[in-house]
Amino acid sequence: MQKTKQLHSTKRLKVGFIWGILLVLIAGLSVTAIAIGSARYSFSEVLNALFSGERSTAQTVVLSLRLPRVILALLIGACLSASGALLQAVMRNPLADPGTIGVSAGAGTMAITVLLIFPNLTFSLPLFAFLGAAFACFLIYSLAWKDGINPVRIILSGVAINSVLGGYNAFLQLMNSDNLSGVLAFMNGSLSGMSWTQVRVMVVYAILGLFLSILCVKNANALQLGDEMARNLGVKVNASRICLSAVAAFLAASTVSVVGMIGFVGLVVPHISRMLVGSDYKFMLPTCVLLGGVTLLFADTIGRTAIPGLEIPVGIIMSVFGGPFFLYMLRKKGKFNEN
């Protein structure tokens, strides 16, 4: 008993230390992202712009352009990571991710349809994005259902839905090739030009979605143990899968509606979080939230500053690094179902 308590105490200390490091990284990266760009500012100039109240060019750039972008990157990264972590619990597979199984594609398809065909409904984009993600989930579960839901069938159904929706999106862009300027930025997942308006919207979605994801921790841990064990613990397996998928869809759809399609965050971050703190969602999910913010802010800062005079959308940066990571995971596991 004493040994168990010591192990728990050691684990909590380790997790607390990791969370502390991640918070320091968030603070350091945030200041760095605010300071560098086409106009560079020193640390003292950044602090002066943030807290002095003195009107200057630096204050306009920092408060109106860079600070909203930093906050948005942290929120988007947190939501995508939490979404990926929940989907991996649902499917008991570390290769699950909102982008790879069709949830983000469903949200993106509805958003692109609105942008190209019904531009007068753009103000309702978040609602349509969520409906698209929910419909994609419904299709995935409908196709995967056969005397219950099997995680492997869910993934294969998701890949098929992703492919079909990708074809539809390509066709829609081909038919509207003269009106793609805004859609291309959306497809590549860009934080360029974001303001406090988008931050206020995303804060509401993030608070609601992340709160719901915390409520899913117990069921997420149970689903990891397998269907039979989860049922023995009193968990309604199919209902839990649907609830967790709905929360994951909400988190993914909210990010798509604000900044567009950003892939691989929900794949890479949960895996690294497991390596750091283990698979207990009580520790892993908060780690995902913090590490997701760090990852997306780092990727966006690289895309914004790597090539002077050219801004690379954060979605492209994540694809460049996330694609090889996905192949590494695929080769390491050797199969879709780790069980």
DSSP string, 246-267: HHHHHHHHHHHHHH----SHHH
- pLDDT value, residue 220: 93
Cβ burial, residue 305 (10 Å; 0-12/13-18/19+):
middle
pTM of the full structure = 0.89
Q: Quote the distance between the C-alpha of residue 201 and its chain's center.
A: 16
* Separation between Cα atoms, residue 84 and residue 268, nearest integer Å: 9
**Contact of 130 with 257, CB cutoff 8 Å:** yes
CA distances from 124 to 98, 138, 180, 254 (A): 21, 21, 19, 12
* Structure confidence at residue 291 (pLDDT): 97
Cross-strand partners of 149: 145
Q: Residue 183: its pLDDT value, please?
A: 80
pLDDT value at residue 81: 96
DSSP bridge pairs for 145: 149
Per-residue pLDDT of the chain (339 residues; tens, 9 = 90+): 566 667 677 888 999 999 999 999 999 999 999 999 888 888 888 888 888 777 888 888 888 999 999 999 999 999 999 999 999 998 887 777 888 778 888 988 998 898 888 888 877 888 888 889 888 888 887 887 776 666 677 778 888 888 898 899 888 888 887 777 768 778 888 898 889 999 999 999 999 999 999 999 999 999 888 888 888 888 888 889 889 988 998 999 999 989 988 988 998 999 999 999 999 999 999 999 999 999 999 999 999 998 888 889 999 999 888 878 777 776 765 443 444
Helices (H), the chain: 2-35, 43-51, 57-60, 67-91, 103-117, 125-144, 151-175, 181-188, 196-215, 217-224, 227-232, 237-259, 265-277, 281-305, 314-333
What residues contact 184, with CB distance under 8 A and at least 6 apart? none
What pLDDT score was predicted for residue 187?
83
